[in-house]
Amino acid sequence: MSLTSKERAYLRSLAVNEPTIMQVGKDGITENLVKTVSDALEARELIKLSVLENSEESPRSAAEALADATGADVVCTIGRKMVLYRESETHKKIEL
């Protein structure tokens, strides 16, 4: 599913109040991180992550890799933070 610019803007406005719940560290994107992100997306639909300075991944490439691995959409990347969205099958909260 690809987000329209209006949907992306709406999700970005919701993400402002969301805490950063995970970090991509020096190990980069591991299977464990992908599973944890997928579980968090199922529970919350919208999550904010950060990429640490010592990570070899750039925030944009990390966001795209995680989105591909979890079936999510990249809402935005700002600085070292990224926001991902995936519609939940069981805990639907956000109406686009």
Tens of pLDDT, residue by residue over 28-68, are: 888 999 999 999 999 888 999 999 998 888 899 999 999 99
Query: Would 48 be classed as within a structural domain?
Result: yes
Query: Would 65 be classed as within a structural domain?
Result: yes
Number of domains in the chain: 1
pTM of the model: 0.89
User: Is the per-residue pLDDT at 88 higher than 90?
Assistant: no
What CATH number does the domain containing 79 carry? Answer: 3.30.110.60
Q: What is the length of the chain?
A: 96
pLDDT at residue number 37: 92
User: Is the per-residue pLDDT at 14 higher than 70?
Assistant: yes
Query: Would 32 be classed as within a structural domain?
Result: yes
Query: Would 91 be classed as within a structural domain?
Result: no
Q: Residue 36: what residue type?
A: T
User: Is the per-residue pLDDT at 95 higher than 70?
Assistant: no
Query: Would 56 be classed as within a structural domain?
Result: yes
pLDDT at residue number 20: 92
CB 33 within 8 A of CB 22: yes
Residue 50's domain comprises: 5-85
Beta bridge partners of 81: 50, 78
Mean pLDDT of 70-83: 92
Query: Would 92 be classed as within a structural domain?
Result: no
Query: Would 81 be classed as within a structural domain?
Result: yes
